[in-house]
Structure 1
Amino acid sequence: AYWIGNQAIIQRSLGARSDFEAKASYIWGAVLKNVIPIIIAIPGLIAVAMFPELGDGDQAFPQLVGALLPVGFRGLFVAAFLAALMSSIDSYLNSSATIFTNDIYQRFIDRDLTDTAVLKVGRITTFVFVTWAILFAFLLTMMDEASGIYAVFQTLMAFFQGPALAVLLTGVLWKRATGKAACVAFVIGILTSVSLFAMTQETVLATLGMDPLFHTSEPFLYFSIWAFLVTLTILLVGSLMTKPEPAEKQSFTYQASRQSHTGAAE
């Protein structure tokens, strides 16, 4: 779901000069991604040893920077941090504007957009997303601070990752999968994630008189897995009950693509 469904990553591979470079960039990126848990965990362990009284995990890294780096290096660190942050933000803003403009606005609202109009719609969309992100950042500050920013972010991502993984894997690997079934399954999968998340909230459990479904403080992986299974089941059944996609669309699956490349090589 992350590597083949994240538009911010896909748009980078589209800029590659060849198929080989695009594939190699994915593999190398996945290798580097494995280093991130170490980068996150080691400073956290150091912070636990240096600041055992620190109760807010989100303050661990700033405390380390203030305690271990001299003044000049602190400024350099802040500059590097902001540069990396802006690099990620502009990628996601650009990909979000691209998806809305090409897949929604041009498809359902105005099919005859000029290049100037496309640029204008993209800029307006970017502004709307930036505004929404700022408001959402304030919303995060009002959520459960005990969970920390990382847990809150992963919980929100888990609403979509399970259903998205089921839809993407099935669409790539199974020629019989249909778009209608995928849309229905994806929506139901998200609703499943949200419903399971609601069942972890004390107010909801108290109202319904139920015990917690998951005996962990951060259950986002659990309801993401269940949402994946629900989405996959509905997608498989729904695809068999709906009309197959045209042969042109079926050729985009992994098996069909591999057969075509094998035939061309022979």
Structure 2
Amino acid sequence: MDSINLSQISLTATDLGVIAGYFVLVAVIGVLVARRTHDDQDLFLAGRRLHWVPVGLSLFASNISSTTLIGLAGAAYTWGLAVANYEWMAAPILVLMALVFIPLYLNARIGTVPEWLEHRFDRRARRYFSVLTLLANILVDTAGTLFAGALVLASLVPGLDLFSAALLLAAIAASYTAAGGLAAVVYTDMLQAILLIIGACLVTWLGFAELGFDWGALVAATPPERLHLFLPLDDPNLPWLGTLIGVPVLGFYFWCTNQFIVQRVLGARTIAHARAGALLAGLLKLPVLFIMVLPGVMAIQILPGLEHGDQVFPALIAELLPVGLTGLILAALVAALMSSVDSTLNAAATLLTLDFIKPAWPSLGPRRTAWIGRAAIVFFMLLAAVIAPLIGHFEGLFHYLQTALSYLVPPVVAVFLLGAFVGRAGPRSALATLLGGHLISAVLFVLWLLGCMSLHFTLVAGLLFFVSAGIFLITSWRWPVSAIQRSSALWSPALSKPEPGMRWWWDYRLYGMLLLMLTLALVWNFH
């Protein structure tokens, strides 16, 4: 697939005004925040001043990218509601994040997630994971998001090729990210989160109106398997076992170890604000089933016969929106793109600068380090724009993203998850798990390319996690560290307690429990 045909969309002056207004607001926020961005702490961590509301909205907006809007609707059109398993799974993972990893990360005062591996194990583990995260951020996250946005932009602007569209979008995101750093990213994300929610709700409402607001008729006209979250074990799209053992692995990597997500948590002013922000993001993920996945199922009746799933969301815009609202939805789509691209660019620059350049030249001052980070943002912008058009050769955008991650992340998840609890494991265990796990991943990937293995990628992710966990535990038993050598970067029950002096209604554990109950109710109703 090279493009999406949106030539039937006609933009009125009102539509263009809404889109222009969005870009003006983003520019104003970028300029205002840039005035307070002076050194590397401001650029990469927003001076560690972020309130829980911006943290939560930014987490949500960075995750709900144009990749998600286009990819989720397309997958739902093809195989139903089960694609929402990737969304609701975020809620219990973010509860785990608040309980275990937020206090570990913030107490260590780290600037990058790989830095925690150095606290827990050694510098080799930190650099290994940092390189892996850099590759994933640019090749998977940034390039995939740019591809989704470029498809829409190239369809709206006659004669615009995918590379030029990707470069234009990346340049806009990079401009305010380089100027204002993480603070600019977070505060523009707040605007983008609001636009995303409004835009997605409008598409859902208008799609349901097209069906006469008749849920019974929708259920009756839709194949039953497309209205359930759990599909048969032999389902080629998402088998139920993959949901249970593979999706949590991918989700844990994304929410708990991915620099471009965790970075806004690291910038929170306190552990309490970081926890509240994480739980807010988890709460916002639950309605995604209704406002971003369900429209794809509705489109089975509204737009039958589409050739490719990635056409669904843009085609719904063309089919459903009255004059004047098209600009709002397209602004939401651009907002989705920007909220992810700015995050990944800032994260990649942070990793390169703090994990490699600053340790190599420790005498670099804060201001010079910040300028190096800005140069890195521009470099990664150009690299992602070059890679983005190549993604069109994959059978589906969502398939590209999840398949790539299923082979890359399971060994990392094993090291982080077990490393937080298994005190006897030392640097040997971490390095053996990363190297051994990725060696096995490479073998399985080659077998998959040669057609010798047909396991669904979620099953591959689960299998690789258990193998990697086995390597970690066996090596920790074979080469344990002594009690004296054990790292202080381990979780203990005391870390799960709220900060001293907090009122009972600020106890994150209460809201974490409520979030888990809401998640269970949602899954039970659509299982």
**TM exceeding 0.5:** yes
2:361 match: 110
2:376 match: 125
Query: What residue identity is the alignment partner of 1:56?
Result: H
* Aligned: 1:141 with 2:378: no
Which of residues 318, 336, 339 is equivalent to 1:84?
336
* Aligned: 1:21 with 2:273: yes
Q: Distance in 1 between matches of 2:309 and 2:322?
A: 22
1:161 match: 409
Q: Distance in 2 between matches of 1:96 and 1:37?
A: 30
Contact preservation (8 Å) 1:176, 1:240: yes
When normalised by structure 2's length, the TM-score is 0.43
How far 1:234 moved relative to its partner? Answer: 1.5
- Deviating 4+ runs (over 4 angstroms): 245-249, 259-262
Q: Distance in 2 between matches of 1:226 and 1:23?
A: 31
- Deviation per residue, 1:124-159 (Å, 9 max, x gap): 32223222222221221123x3xx101111111222
* Aligned: 1:97 with 2:331: no
2:445 match: 197
What number of residue pairs does the alignment pair up? 248
Q: Distance in 1 between matches of 2:421 and 2:339?
A: 33
Query: What residue identity is the alignment partner of 2:374?
Result: R
* Aligned: 1:182 with 2:430: yes
Q: Distance in 2 between matches of 1:33 and 1:246?
A: 41
Which stretch of the first structure deviates more once superposed, 38-47 or 150-159? 38-47
Which of residues 481, 485, 494 is equivalent to 1:258?
494
Q: Distance in 2 between matches of 1:245 and 1:117?
A: 41
SS in 2 for 1:250: coil
Contact preservation (8 Å) 1:8, 1:95: yes
How far 1:116 moved relative to its partner? Answer: 3.3
How far 1:224 moved relative to its partner? Answer: 0.9
Which of residues 459, 466, 470 is equivalent to 1:233?
470
- Deviation per residue, 1:3-28 (Å, 9 max, x gap): 32122222212333322221121122
How far 1:242 moved relative to its partner? Answer: 3.8
Contact preservation (8 Å) 2:426, 2:486: no
Q: Cα gap change, 1:235/1:20 in structure 2, threshold over 3 Å: closer, same or farther?
A: same
Q: Distance in 1 between matches of 2:458 and 2:470?
A: 19
Which of residues 281, 288, 295 is equivalent to 1:36?
288
Q: Distance in 1 between matches of 2:259 and 2:282?
A: 16
How far 1:100 moved relative to its partner? Answer: 1.6
How far 1:246 moved relative to its partner? Answer: 8.1
SS in 2 for 1:173: coil
SS in 2 for 1:63: helix
- Deviation per residue, 1:98-134 (Å, 9 max, x gap): 1221112222x32222223312321232223222222
Query: What residue identity is the alignment partner of 1:120?
Result: W
Which of residues 39, 58, 61 is equivalent to 2:310?
58
Matching of residues 199-218 of structure 1 within 5 Å: 199-201=447-449, 204-205=450-451, 210=452, 212-214=453-455
Where in structure 2 are there 5+ consecutive unaligned residues? Answer: 1-252, 502-527
Q: Distance in 2 between matches of 1:246 and 1:11?
A: 32
Q: Distance in 2 between matches of 1:51 and 1:182?
A: 50
Query: What residue identity is the alignment partner of 1:29?
Result: A
Contact preservation (8 Å) 1:47, 1:60: yes
Q: What RMSD in Å do the two structures reach over aligned CA positions?
A: 2.7
Q: Distance in 1 between matches of 2:364 and 2:426?
A: 29
How far 1:259 moved relative to its partner? Answer: 7.2
How far 1:179 moved relative to its partner? Answer: 2.9
Q: Whose RCO is larger (CA < 8 A, sep 6+)?
A: 2
Q: Cα gap change, 1:37/1:245 in structure 2, threshold over 3 Å: closer, same or farther?
A: farther
Q: Cα gap change, 1:77/1:260 in structure 2, threshold over 3 Å: closer, same or farther?
A: closer
Query: What residue identity is the alignment partner of 2:321?
Result: L
Q: Cα gap change, 1:39/1:260 in structure 2, threshold over 3 Å: closer, same or farther?
A: closer
Contact preservation (8 Å) 2:406, 2:457: yes
Where in structure 1 are there 5+ consecutive unaligned residues? Answer: none
